Amino acid sequence: MSAHLTTVAGVPVDTRHFIGGERVASTETFTDVSPIDGSTLGEISRGTAMEAAAAVAAAKAAFPAWAATPRAERARILHAVADGVEKRLEELAIVETCDNGALLRSHRRGVMPRVAHNFRFFADRLLTLGHEDFDTRGHTNHVSWDPAGPCVLITPWNAPLMLATWKIAPALAAGNTVILKPAEWTPLTASLLADIATEAGLPAGVLNVVQGYGSEIGDVLTSHPDVRRISFTGSVPTARHIAASAAPNLTPLSLELGGKSPLLVFADADLDLAVDLAVEQYDNAGQVCLAATRILVEETAAEEFTRRFVEKASRLKQGDPRDEATDIGPNIHPRQLEKIDGFVQRALAAGARAVIGGHRKDGLYYAPTLLTDVAQDSEIVQEEVFGPVLTLQTFTDEEEAVRLANGTRFGLAATVATGDPDRAARVSARLVAGTVWVNCFFVRDLRAPFGGSRHSGVGREGGTWSFDFYCDLKNTVTAP
């Protein structure tokens, strides 16, 4: 076997970059480790400024031809990529699970089908894009979505291929070329996607993948004058850094960042549903940007809610994410576990009470945790933990519920559980959030705008909003 191939759960994965349609190795590598058991998955090419610049050059060279490719042909190729994803769905699912520790059953049934859907949706959307021409004193206004150029897409490890393709698909559909920089903790499925895209007939240089550390190659990509869009999903500190790096070129940015979303449970809610929604927040071991980690319960319902929550949460099975029966897998990395435990121990020291959990378990597993007696201005309520840690606060009326819900610097999502449709409408209207779910959670439709307010992000992607971001919109005014 080539020195540049590793085999993960029986699936061969190329460990090199993918630049201009070729596999390119770096002199140095970094070790990719599985959070499931700490085993080494592969030695991955550790990108340098040279490979990063080469990827931008390849994307720039491929741009004119891809931008000029008829929409229908671009859409056809993107559907072929989706076909390839579906054909290799099992392989993608198991490799992703080994790499980031998320549940295999979720990858099989939810995440990887969504990856394919990302390509199909934006391919189809491209074909329906259009504005009505309109008239100004006899002149015709015609608005077009023109391809913008090479796009740098930087993604995190918590849902690697899903988040990458959520950006890649509209960027490519729009006629742009792409340089993807996957997270260094989860480099594998991006490499498989490069193979799938090649097999689907995507021309060389249209999709490039550069592996490596953000701290080492990020600036080369984000400060490059030939890059015309940067879409980033990740943390607020990195977003600040990227925004500064992109500023001299005024490169347009889309930023999808962290959250500290609330789940508001009113006493008139279906309490079993509210408990289901709350326990669901432990999904992906709490490593979900949208997770409603702050549970706000109306005081009169708090005791019963907590009793039912504990009962349900105690039935969760924590263990190997490859096991179909597992509900919660490991967290991603020892550093992340340290961070999670640090938040929890500081909260406990400040007077919080652990209703459940509050401690580490073996390996990279953290006990699902619910903390009460937490102050609104405390660190545990204000900062994103990104682990299976929820807080519970109570409120006495709608006014207080909204105040607590809106009382952080984030604004990604919010969930409202109530049996009163008027209340649902009133409260939703007052919440600062990119998405509000009423009596449900994580129902996503790619036609909808997605993004965060305040420090949860800049801009919206999804549906036509993705094309608005990835394109240079142009109005052509023609005289009669």
CB of 43 to ligand NAD, least distance (A): 18
- Site residues (CB under 6 A) for ligand NAD, limited to 445-464: 452, 457
CA distance 439 to 415: 7
Q: Token pair for residue 480?
A: 């009669």
Helix %, strand %, coil % for the chain, to 5? Answer: 40, 20, 35
Q: How many residues bind ligand NAD (CB under 6 A)?
A: 30
Which of residues 395 and 470 has its CB atom nearest to ligand NAD in the complex? 470
Catalytic residue among 256, 298, 384, 461: 256
- Using CB under 6 A, pick the residue from 46, 88, 181, 423 that binds ligand NAD: 181
Minimal CA–CA distance to 409: which of 304, 259, 193, 242? 259
Q: Which is nearer to ligand NAD, 368 or 459 (CB)?
A: 459
- Residue 85 sits at φ, ψ, to 5 deg, of -65, -45
Q: For residue 8, what are its two tokens? A: 């993960």
Q: Is 361 helix (H, G, I), strand (E, B) or coil?
A: coil
Hey, which bits of 184-332 come out as E strands?
207-209, 229-233, 253-256, 262-265, 294-298
Considering the rule CB under 6 A, would residue 222 count as an interface residue with ligand NAD? yes
Q: Which is nearer to ligand NAD, 107 or 423 (CB)?
A: 107
Distance of alpha carbon 174 from the chain centroid: 20
Q: Which has the closest alpha carbon to 147: 67, 51, 237?
A: 67
Where in 238-267 is the site for ligand NAD (CB under 6 A)? 238, 241-242, 256-259
Closer CB to ligand NAD, 77 or 230, in the complex: 230
What span, in angstroms and rounded, lies between the C-alpha atoms of 106 and 16? Answer: 27
Site residues for ligand NAD, 84-113, by CB under 6 A, read: none
| Binding span for ligand NAD by CB under 6 A among 141-149, 218-226, 266-274, 397-405 | 218-226
- Please give the structure tokens belonging to residue 26: 């770096």
String of contacts with ligand NAD for each residue 382-401, x by CB under 6 A: --x-x---------------
| Residue in 47, 101, 150, 214 binding ligand NAD, rule: CB under 6 A | 214
List, in order, residues 6 or more apart from 264 with CB less than 8 Å away: 296, 401, 405, 414, 415, 416, 417, 418, 427
Which of 36-44, 95-103, 233-241, 265-273 is the region at the interface with ligand NAD (rule: CB under 6 A)? 233-241
Instruction: Give which of 424, 84, 75 is closest to 268, Cα–Cα.
Output: 424
CB of 70 to ligand NAD, least distance (A): 32
**String marking each residue 22-41 x if it binds ligand NAD according to CB under 6 A:** --------------------
CB nearer ligand NAD, residue 362 or residue 445 = 445
Convert residues 276-315 into a mask of x (bound to ligand NAD by CB under 6 A) and - (unbound).
Answer: -------------x--------------------------
**Residue 55, H or E segment:** helix 49-68
Query: Does residue 352 contact residue 383 with C-beta atoms inside 8 Å?
Result: no
Rounded CA-CA distance 228/217 in Å is: 17
Which residue, 69 or 406, is less far from ligand NAD as judged by CB?
A: 406
**Burial of residue 401 (number of CB atoms within 10 Å: 0-12, 13-18, 19+):** buried
Among 147, 160, 170, 234, binds ligand NAD (CB under 6 A): 234
Tell me the C-alpha distance between 201 and 207, whole Å. Answer: 11
Taking the CB of residue 367, how many other CB atoms lie within 10 A of it?
A: 16
Q: Which stretch binds ligand NAD (CB under 6 A): 131-139, 156-164, 314-322, 341-349?
A: 156-164
Identify whether 90 is a catalytic site residue. no
Per CB under 6 A, which region of 14-22, 148-156, 264-272, 389-397 contacts ligand NAD?
148-156
Residues lying near ligand NAD in the complex (CB under 6 A): 154-158, 163, 181, 183-184, 214-215, 218-219, 222, 233-235, 238, 241-242, 256-259, 289, 384, 386, 412, 452, 457
Catalytic residues, by residue number, are: 256
